[in-house]
Amino acid sequence: MNTAAEHCLHLPYQPPWDWQQFHSHYALRALPSVERLTPSSYSRSFRLGEISGWFSVRPLVEQSALELRYSASAAPCLSELQQRVRRMFDLDAEPQRITAHLADDPLLGPLVTRNPGLRLPVAFDPFEQAVRAIVGQQVTVKAAVTITGRLVSRLGEPLLPGTDGLERLFPSAATIAGATLDGIGMPGKRVQTLQYFAELVASGELRLDLQQGSAALIERLCALPGIGPWTAEYIALRAFGEADAFPASDLGLLKAPLWGSEGISAKQLKSRAEAWRPWRAYAAAHLWHNYSGG
């Protein structure tokens, strides 16, 4: 592969699909030097095994597809790269089927009908998303991005050659586990939680996958010190795109305008969400969209 054209392919999807949803998601969460967002594109560095590089996607106006451009170094892992990018942008969802199921709910239905193209933004790398979720416990999204950015600045390896503002790779589990994180901006117990988690992942003792199902992963995560149901459910949703994951205690879900000025309790929400199975994560996407004013 020697030409730019050979480093480009198209990833089709079943419409509707909403680029603006993904743009808004990454506008709040993009990590400097790892990710770059423009009005019409998203780019990031990546590492798959021993291979590192970058990729960029943009929506194609004239067809239901994303254009994927990638570094020459990605050629040996192109199949996996495509799969991960498809998962990131939820390109394999069945919007009509999901909408038909959720539209029956008397309160949620109007939201779903108004925004039928909402999908599940999913992380490129499960470990990176898990780190973000642990860092994000009890802090704002902005604060979590700032702290995670410090991890990248201190510990992220340079991407060689870098391109268009993508200069670093997200730190590996082994690197985070063995680092000195004084002054990183987190309480000591959360630092301990993060480094213990990273140590388990680095050693292979904790596998971040859904081979035994999402319930088993959530159970494994909840057994770790400092990781509760919200963090575990959020990891299942954002790291793997698990369609039925549902972090019922999430503030954005509890305070969505849909529920009125008093909101709803986590217990009430969890009970109500039973009717949304097996698409509870998509219901969450609509509630988050409602909470953010979309």
Q: What residues are annotated to the active site?
A: 250
Which candidate, 97, 110, 135, 122, places its Cα nearest to that of 256? 110
Q: What does the alpha-carbon distance between residue 196 and residue 179 come to, in Å, rounded to a whole number?
A: 12
Q: Which tokens belong to 141?
A: 């999204």
3-class SS of residue 134: helix
* CB atoms near residue 224 (< 10 Å): 16
Which candidate, 76, 90, 145, places its Cα nearest to that of 123? 90
Q: Residue 41 pairs with which residues in a beta bridge?
A: 38
- CB of 49 within 8 A of CB of 77? yes
Q: Which residues are CB-contacts of 242 (< 8 A; sequence separation ≥ 6)?
A: 210, 214, 236, 281
